[in-house]
Amino acid sequence: MSGDRIFVENLVVSCRVGITEKERSRRQAVILDLHIFRDLREAGISDDRGKTSDYAALRESVFELVSRGEFKLLESIAEKVASRLLEGAAVSQVNVKIRKKKYSTSPNIGIEITRTRHG
């Protein structure tokens, strides 16, 4: 696996998340950090945009997925985001870190998952 990666950090998305219906009845801000592992050597050598991922499209895809969904757990958001990011043909692994904005000060509380493409 390549150590190369594309990252999107501090992506703030307003969504419906929480265990109770009351908590999900109002939108809450979550903060995502995304690391998308793929070989970037060809892009670097050729200076060809077609040899890498479209950063804006990655950001928009995740933003849309999270902002339109309703979730009970941060873990569920992370799984769905990881699955979406692994749809990219050249993506070998993703790391998704997520926390509610209201828990983003000391101590910073959230979850982080890593998923690898199989097959």
The highest-level CATH class for domain 5-116 is: alpha beta
Q: What is the pLDDT of residues 55-83, one digit of tens each?
A: 999 999 999 999 999 999 999 999 999 99
Indicate whether 119 pLDDT > 80. no
* Strands lying side by side in the sheet with 70-71: 70-71, 5-17, 28-37, 93-100, 111-116
pLDDT at 104: 78
Average pLDDT over residues 3-14: 95
pTM of the predicted protein model: 0.92
Main-chain phi, psi angles of 4, to 5 degrees: -70, 150
Boundaries of every domain in the chain: 5-116
pLDDT at 88: 80
Q: What is the pLDDT of residues 79-89, one digit of tens each?
A: 999 999 999 87
